[in-house]
Amino acid sequence: MTGFLSRRLLQSLVVVLLVTVIVFILLHLLPGGPARALLGPRATAVAIENFNHRMGYDRPLPVQYWDWLTQLVTGNLGFSVKFNQPVVSLIGERLPKTLILTVLSTVLALIVAIPLGMAQAVRRNEPTDYAITFWAFVFYATPPFFLGVVLIVVFSVYLPILPAEAPQSSSILVILSQPAGLILPVLTLSLLTIAQFSRYMRSSVIESLAEDYVRTARAKGADERTVLVRHVLPNSLIPIATLLGLSLPTIFSGALITEAVFNFPGMGQLFWTAAQTQDYPIMLGITVLVGVVTVLGSLLADLAYAVLDPRVRYA
């Protein structure tokens, strides 16, 4: 396990380094360069020259990359042109709000999807299985913005019982004190995730039910509930652990479309605003952060496989 962990950490560092190279190249591939992108199309040649000299863009690219990488290591992700703030402070302000939204939706999805997937597997090819499969496909194929709008129309217009807008505050305590405003955005994300997780859970449980240890447990006289809870469920959760690891980028970066629909002040809305205003330091900073979290999620998923599945052996 130690050797495997060391190799995976080394691979992760290489991938993160490649992500920084790609992001740095994208910055310099902007039409007209970073100066033109940040100053606008009407900037004069003198203004662009002064900007490049002040920001160090007139130096050799390897030198620029090394300086940019050392700043990244120290936590400096650049400076936002629109908000006139460091990108790190903006991310630090928005990230806790996004974590509230995405973690709540992920936990709710797990609570609902795991029993649904097991029920489908136990009642395979029965009306219950067909009904859950139908709705899972419907929600999985529905775009997030459309689902959010439908929920707003139903629960905020025709049945005005929930607010159409998420809580608007810079304080986490204020957001948590308004749970009604979180219901629709959390439900929008949860319905999409439930559809995905339940399908994986169904397939995993069906595969586990055909294993020898299940037949052995039944032959020893174990009732169906004991077989499902003590034997089938732990082994069937392995694919879900992988999905959770691969879901970390979404949890940290925020649901861009959902946050925009409900005007939720999180990471997704921050990226949306930066894209509309061409605030490239924010977009590149969030891209680097999501790349690092993606690599971390993949590493955690591999470790979860090694811990949860005794059949897996890493040479």
| pLDDT tens-digit readout, 128-143 | 888 888 888 888 888 8
Of 1-5, 75-79, 190-194, highest mean pLDDT = 190-194
Query: Would you say residue 314 has pLDDT above 60?
Result: no
Task: Point out which residues pair with 86 in neighbouring strands.
Answer: 79
Determine the average pLDDT of the residues in 273-281: 79
Per-residue confidence (pLDDT) for residue 69, from 0 to 100 = 82
- DSSP string over 164-179: SS----S-HHHHHT-T
CB 195 within 8 A of CB 136: yes
Is pLDDT at 111 greater than 80 in this prediction? yes
**pLDDT confidence of residue 311:** 60
Asked if the model's pLDDT at residue 54 lies above 80, the reply is no
Q: What is the mean pLDDT of the chain?
A: 80
Helix, strand, or coil (residue 86): strand
pLDDT at 254: 53
For domain 94-308, give the CATH number: 1.10.3720.10
How far separated are the first and last CA of the chain, in Å rounded? Answer: 8
Token pair listed for 259: 């946050």
pTM above 0.85, yes or no: no
Contacts made by residues 36-40, CB under 8 angstroms, sequence distance 24+:
37/278, 37/280, 38/81, 38/278, 38/280
pLDDT digits (tens, 9 = 90+) for 248-262: 776 665 577 788 888
pLDDT for position 4:
66
> What's the pLDDT score for residue 252?
62
Please report the sign of the dihedral spanned by the C-alpha atoms of residue 286, residue 254, residue 195, residue 306.
positive
pLDDT for the residue numbered 301? 75
pLDDT (average), residues 65-90? 82
Give the pLDDT of residue 46: 81
CATH 1.10.3720.10 residue spans of the chain = 94-308
Return the minimum-mean-pLDDT range out of 143-147, 262-266, 293-297.
Answer: 293-297
